[in-house]
Homo-oligomer: A and B are copies of this chain.
Amino acid sequence: MLYEDVATQVARLIQTGAYRVGDRVPSVRALSRKLDVSVATVLEAYRMLKARGLIEPRPQSGYYVRPRPVEASPPSERPAPPSPAAPVAVHELGMKLLHDARSRSLVPLGAALPRPALMPFDKLRRILARILRLHPAEAHGIDALPGCRALRVQVAQRAMLAGLPLSPDEIVTTCGAQEAVSLALRAVCRPGDTVAVESPIFFGILQAIEVLGLKAVEIDAHPREGMELGCLRAALRRRRVRAVIAIPTFNNPLGSAMPEEKKKELVRMLASRDVPLVEDDMYGDLHFGFDRPKAAKAFDANGLVLTCGSFSKSLAPGWRVGWLAPGRFQRDIERLKMTSTLATATPLQLAVAEFMAHGGYERTLRVQRKAHARAVDELARAVVRHFPPGTGVSSPEGGFVVWVRMPERVDSIALYGQALKAGIMIAPGPMFSPRGRFRNFVRLNAGAWTPDLDRTIATLGRLARA
């Protein structure tokens, strides 16, 4: 038996679902005994499966099935040249989405919300109640700039995992990542300035750019490796770009992670031109692979990277607790935060800090990562099953959204309306582009997993075919 045969056999077991995303495949020794082949043969087979992205090794633990939708093809093949700088106009669409999302009867494939069952609501509630009982004056009182120290200490400790040696004093707590992004943009830009924006990107960022009166240059993101640095370089040469904004780790909607070397190059390129990078690191903790990727800020020697984080995707979306590491813009951010909301809700900051310190945050994240990886995998498979031929699906490395490229003739805004009538909420592609591109794309939220998922996707697929 050749190592290719071993690999084929294991690949088939993965494809048929015998081993699911996050499962451990048999150990090298066990498989060699079972198939009566040498350890070297199995090792070679596993190396091959790893190269194909089907499995990944974890130190001292073995090989695990990686998420990888069948027949997935990258959403776009060749990056477009950087767009002209132009005002952004995605706001109305976003407002409509948020408004429609209030209806609780819809299947919520639109917003990027994690499954409530995965969130430690019960533990958070008990921690919060205890803090308010034991420290009433502190927990009900205001904790002004730069925010609750207990939380800043925890965020700083965790930042180490992302390669960030932050001190608690280099962190400002915020009312969710949306405030962090908004303050960061206000700190580094003035109305009329041009921002280079990774595309596609989360529409909340585009709305902030629009409302702040900034112009956007759209920089294509490679479906697996993030922002195309060649395009960015061209854009930086061509015009005065005041700042760059991107989600380098698990871009929303792509799910892609920019490789470390590329992050390093990005930060170096911007440093040489003294251009700040606003890094949205919302999803960094929700990696499907073994390691937490480094943040771009890990390579920032000049304080030019402003990194935004949040607990909305891992603990409680409605608590609105986030943070910002503003680098050299610390003082500007404090001024802005003070006049924008003065402070973040104290009791919720304290409870998040306590949960991080003693509540099993890492354990919670482990469970979430595995569940998200599986949900993304299942959703992507269902899309491939039911959507028209020629549909491509992203292969997220983290987070819980899936980006779907439908055939060119499908209009996702029309599909949005039809899906709504069928009781399904989706996020149409043009929301994720400053200029309303991605007309034939949709983002689907794998956090909304239900037993009916297959039927829901079948309905969507039918609508997309029609």
Interface residues of A (CB under 8 A from B): 91, 94-95, 98-99, 101-102, 113, 116, 119, 121-122, 124-125, 128-129, 132-133, 136-137, 139-145, 175-176, 178-179, 182, 190-191, 204, 207-208, 210-212, 312, 316-320, 334-336, 338-348
Contacts and interface: CB of A to CB of B under 8 A. Distances in A.
B132 A116 contact: no
5 contacts: A101-B144, A116-B137, A211-B336, A318-B345, A320-B346
Given A182-B339, A204-B342, A211-B335, A122 B136 contact: yes
Contact of A341 (B102, B139, B140, B320): B320
Contact of A340 (B113, B143, B340): B340
B140 A102 contact: no
Contacts of A141: 113, 116, 316-318
A121 B140 contact: yes
Interface of A is mostly: helix
B176 A341 contact: yes
B341 A175 contact: yes
B140 A338 contact: no
A164 to B, nearest CB: 24
Contacts of A119: 140
A133 B207 CA distance: 34
A122 B190 CA distance: 45
- Copies of this protein in the complex: 2
Contact of A95 (B204, B211, B338, B340): B338
Given A128-B129, A318-B345, A98 B140 contact: no
B136 A129 contact: no
A15 to B, nearest CB: 35
Contacts of A341: 175-176, 178-179, 182, 320, 340-341
- Minimum-distance CB pairs A-B, first 5: A318-B346, A140-B316, A125-B132, A178-B342, A175-B341
Nearest to A145: B98
Given A113-B141, A125-B132, 19 more contacts: A95-B335, A116-B136, A116-B137, A125-B136, A128-B132, A139-B318, A142-B312, A142-B317, A143-B318, A175-B341, A175-B342, A176-B342, A208-B339, A210-B339, A211-B336, A212-B339, A319-B346, A319-B347, A341-B341
B175 A175 contact: yes
A340 B140 contact: no
Given A102-B144, A145-B99, A345 B320 contact: yes
Contacts of A334: 95
A141 B122 CA distance: 13
Nearest to A315: B140
